[in-house]
Amino acid sequence: MKNNQNWPNLEFSRLKDTLETLHQWIQIVGKIRLKTMPWQNHSWHTTLYITTNGFSTHSIPYQGRAFQIDFDFKIHKLFIRCSNTESLEMELQSRTVVDFYKELFEKLSFLELNVNIHPCPNEIEPAIPFYENTVNKYYDPNEANALWQAMLKTNEVFNQFRSRFIGKASPVHLFWGAFDLAVTRFSGKPAPLHQGGMPNMPLDVMQEAYSQEVSSAGFWPGSKDFPVPIFYSYAYPATSNFAEQKIIPKQAYYSQEMGEFILKYDDVRNSENPEKTLYKFLQTTYEAAANTSNWNRNKLEMKY
């Protein structure tokens, strides 16, 4: 019997409009965290995290206080919580990006959280300013909940995978630029200067993010140009034989166009054991990166 009942069905055709609206909203919230958190290497200070109810900035220190912003996909509200005052909330419902942006910053101002962000999205084309975006305005609570549930399941496997590595590793975190949940391992060696290439992303940010040799994996819900939710794994820099390595499960493949191994979400969800299938993909793609790039695995991995 297949054990996929807890992995939600994600059909991109149904998810698309909600995903595009949510992508704008999490960029706004993520930029608030970017502006208020102390800098951390590889832009780790900017990310969001998976919680019991949705996505969160987690606690942000601010002028002797702390605040956090939480998306709740159970009751479909956004909460702004502050250590020294009341909590405020907003409805998560079909509304324009302009409306979301305006109400959020009005509530931040009421709480005397005076944050100024760059009011345009990153890694998105076209980069319509948030205060002008009336295009993205659809929100289906069922689709938003399903996306969160998929990330919740993924987050558990990613954290289990991360625990086996004793070298430098990122947290499991949600990057709002591309809307992907990711975990990254580092070899400890410097990497060649990255050439950039992401839309509306400063080159120096990309170069610092990829300043060290990595094996990185993630979950990405897709886009209009690639309308399939996937798991991915890549190496930077990648050797010429990285793409030729044997990966488990057999449904995984290397995309020359995207420069990474890909495993469709549905292939995980419909497998006999989705957690085991995903873990094997993470492990074998990491091994492909580590072995072809001559990582010192004896120093980087647990012995038991």
Would you list the DSSP string of 139-151? Answer: --HHHHHHHHHHH
How is the chain split into domains, by residue range? Answer: 12-132, 141-300
Which secondary-structure segment (H or E) carries 184? strand 180-190
- Residue 117 tokens read as 């962000």
What pLDDT score was predicted for residue 1? 42
CA distance 176 to 118: 14
pLDDT tens for 266-286 read: 999 999 999 999 999 999 999
- Residue 68 tokens read as 């956090």
Kindly tell me if the per-residue pLDDT of 4 is higher than 70: no
CA distances from 60 to 47, 200, 210 (A): 12, 26, 25
Choice among 3-12, 113-122, 134-143 with the minimum mean pLDDT: 3-12
- Name every residue whose Cβ is closer than 8 Å to that of residue 142 and which is 6 or more positions away in sequence: none
3-state secondary structure of 188: strand
Kindly tell me if the per-residue pLDDT of 205 is higher than 70: yes
